[in-house]
C-alpha cells in the first residue's frame, strides 16, 4: 500500500481550519441522498471491533423538529428550529448483538465489552461519540455546515422518538448550509505545551 499523502490545504481548511459552528442557515434544504451519503462516509471510521454503536435520526420536517423543541435547553430552541436538519445521535443499547456480523473473526468478540457491568455502556458511549465526530468531519467534507448541541433532556428525546427501540440519545447536530460567511474571533484553544506530552 502506498503512503498516504496529506489532503490539500483547501480541504483541511474546510474541515477544520476555517470551519465554524453554525447557528444561521440558508433556506437550501439538504437532500435525503446527501444525508445517506453522509452516513455512508462517516460509518467507515474505526470503532472497537467494528462495533458501530451509533444510530442517527435525521429530523427533516417541521413537525419532527417541533416534537424535539420542548426537550431542548432554552438557548438551543431557536438554533434547532432554524436548522434544515437536526441529527439526533444515539447509541443502540443492544449494539453488541451486531458484533458477530460486523466483526466476523470466528469467535464471539462480545466478551471484550462485558468484563464488568459498566463495560457495555462505557464502550458504547465512547464509540458512539467517536462516530459522532466522524459524522461532523464527513459533513464538512461533503460541503455541509454543523452546529453540535448537548443541551437537551435525553429522557424526553428518548420518550418522544425512541420509546419503542433500544436507541439512547447522546448528542444533537444541526446540519445545513450556513448563512454567515464571517464570524468573530475563534475561541481560544489550549496550546501544544498545555495539552500535549511527548514521552
Asked whether the predicted pLDDT for residue 34 surpasses 90, the reply is yes
For residues 159 and 155, give the distance between their C-alpha atoms in angstroms, rounded to a whole number.
6
Note the pLDDT tens digit of each residue in 44-76.
999 999 999 999 999 999 999 999 999 999 999
Q: Which domains does the chain have, with CATH numbers?
A: 23-179 (3.40.109.10)
Note the pLDDT tens digit of each residue in 117-172.
899 999 999 999 999 999 999 999 999 999 999 999 999 999 999 999 999 999 99
- C-alpha cell recorded at residue 199: 514521552
CA atoms in the 13 A half-sphere facing the CB of 49: 21
Note the pLDDT tens digit of each residue in 72-128.
999 999 999 999 999 999 999 999 999 999 999 988 899 999 999 899 999 999 999
For residues 197 and 190, give the distance between their C-alpha atoms in angstroms, rounded to a whole number.
13
What's the whole-model pTM score?
0.95
**What residue spans of 5-51 are helical by DSSP H?**
9-12, 32-42
Number of Cβ within 10 Å of residue 120's Cβ equals 18
Number of Cβ within 10 Å of residue 172's Cβ equals 27
pLDDT band at 39 (very low <50, low <70, confident <90, very high): very high
Note the pLDDT tens digit of each residue in 170-185.
999 999 999 976 788 8
Amino acid at each position: 500500500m502506498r503512503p498516504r499523502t496529506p489532503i490539500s490545504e483547501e480541504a483541511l481548511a474546510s474541515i477544520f481550519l476555517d470551519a465554524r459552528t453554525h447557528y444561521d442557515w440558508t433556506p437550501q434544504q439538504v437532500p435525503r441522498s446527501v444525508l445517506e451519503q453522509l452516513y455512508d462516509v462517516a460509518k467507515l471510521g474505526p470503532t472497537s471491533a467494528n462495533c458501530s454503536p451509533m444510530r442517527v435520526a435525521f429530523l427533516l420536517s417541521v413537525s419532527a423538529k417541533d416534537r424535539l423543541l420542548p426537550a431542548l435547553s432554552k438557548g438551543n430552541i431557536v438554533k434547532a428550529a432554524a436548522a434544515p436538519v437536526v441529527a439526533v445521535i444515539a447509541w443502540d443499547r443492544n449494539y453488541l448483538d451486531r458484533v458477530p456480523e460486523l466483526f466476523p473473526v470466528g469467535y464471539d468478540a462480545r466478551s471484550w465489552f462485558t468484563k464488568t457491568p459498566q463495560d457495555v455502556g462505557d464502550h458504547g458511549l465512547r464509540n458512539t461519540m467517536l462516530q459522532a465526530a466522524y459524522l461532523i468531519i464527513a459533513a464538512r467534507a461533503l460541503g455541509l455546515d454543523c452546529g453540535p448541541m448537548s443541551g437537551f433532556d435525553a429522557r424526553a428525546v428518548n420518550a418522544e422518538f425512541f420509546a419503542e427501540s433500544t436507541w439512547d440519545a447522546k448528542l444533537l447536530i444541526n446540519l445545513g448550509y450556513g448563512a454567515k460567511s464571517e464570524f468573530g474571533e475563534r475561541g481560544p484553544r489550549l496550546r501544544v505545551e498545555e495539552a500535549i506530552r511527548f514521552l
